[in-house]
Homo-oligomer: A and B are copies of this chain.
Amino acid sequence: MTGTPAIGVDIGGTNTRVAAVDRGNGTIIEKESFFTDPLEGAESFLTRTSEAIEKVMGQIEARPDEIGVGCPGPIDPFTGTILDPPNLAGLHQVKLKDEMERMTGMKVTVDNDANAAALAETHFGAASGEKSAVYVTVSTGVGGGITLNGRLVSGKTGNAGEIGNMIVDPGFSGEQITSSGHMGSGTLERLASGTAIGLAGKEQLGLSGKAEEVFELAGEGNSGAQAIIDRAIGYLAIATANLANTLDPDVFVFGGGVMKQKSVIPKLAELTRGCLYPSLAGTLDIRSAALGQDAGVIGAALLPTYRQMDE
């Protein structure tokens, strides 16, 4: 395996990246990227993807025979079907695995982009060498992936690691729960994503709705902006504490735009410790993602090797 490249495809709402990746050290050997333009439809997107793969393969000596694809969720990782990700309108219900296997003649493994990034950070990034890791990405939404012994924990339906759906402050108490109507309420994504921070900035401070502006204002000493950020980090701390209590991973790795902001990670670590008993607080290890934007395409190339849902 070591040294044999695989093709990684990282589908983003804006750009799609294609790369030949050395699976032995995570190095990107060759890469291409193109504007995703999901509204152009499936056929056009699949053709562009195949062309980019061919181009990458034409530039390298080794012959990769496997393709891994990371894609914004929700997807069905078993069948490799894109379901209905909001930023991929026009590609909904596309049977990505089947179509790409037909077009390339190679085996294709599809999973969500956060799971791919989790694999990359586990093998060649911030969690390298660790037995277990929880990766969390906080940007427009909140996603995640869990690895154990270098492999993804996929779950029965492929939905393990959907950390953004964790309820961290129900806003309703136990006696108010009914058999319907709580989907999405009080979830980490609704309370702590970049979208949530931006929305609070709009509602409370009259800003444009972008999270960046809230961070900028907080950096200038605005206490209202700082309170919005602290609130989001507080909810991230509850989620992190809950994951520490249930999975007790060797390391947490946080990536995504929100986590790149100065002082977010130290503050998160401090508040998470405040929610844990001393034995876990003392061993808590929270790190910044190390691979940045490349995590998606590197991790995609690792999917065929390290995600085995039917084992």
Contact = CB atoms under 8 A, between A and B. Distances in A.
Interface of A: 74, 131-132, 144, 146, 148-149, 153-163, 165-170, 173-184, 191-192, 227, 230-235, 237-238, 241-250, 270-271, 273-280, 283, 311
B274 A181 contact: yes
Contacts of A159: 244-245, 248, 279-280
Contacts of A182: 274-275
Contacts of A156: 131-132, 248-250, 283
Nearest to A269: B179
B279 A165 contact: no
Contacts of A144: 246
25 contacts: A132-B156, A148-B148, A154-B248, A156-B249, A157-B283, A159-B280, A167-B238, A167-B242, A167-B275, A169-B173, A170-B238, A173-B231, A174-B191, A174-B192, A174-B233, A174-B235, A177-B234, A177-B238, A177-B271, A177-B274, A178-B271, A179-B271, A184-B277, A246-B246, A247-B247
B246 A243 contact: yes
B245 A162 contact: yes
- Most chain B CB within a 10 A radius of its CB, from A157, A177, A184: A177
A309 to B, nearest CB: 10
A142 to B, nearest CB: 11
A230 to B, nearest CB: 5
A161 B280 CA distance: 13
Contact of A246 (B158, B166, B275): B166
A73 to B, nearest CB: 10
Contacts of A154: 248
Contacts of A248: 154-160, 162
A169 B166 contact: no
B177 A246 contact: no
- Most chain B CB within a 10 A radius of its CB, from A156, A230, A277: A156
Contact of A277 (B146, B165, B247): B165
Contact of A132 (B132, B155, B166, B276): B155
Contacts of A243: 246
B155 A247 contact: yes
Contact of A242 (B148, B166, B183, B273): B166
Nearest to A237: B177
- Most chain B CB within a 10 A radius of its CB, from A231, A242, A244, A311: A242
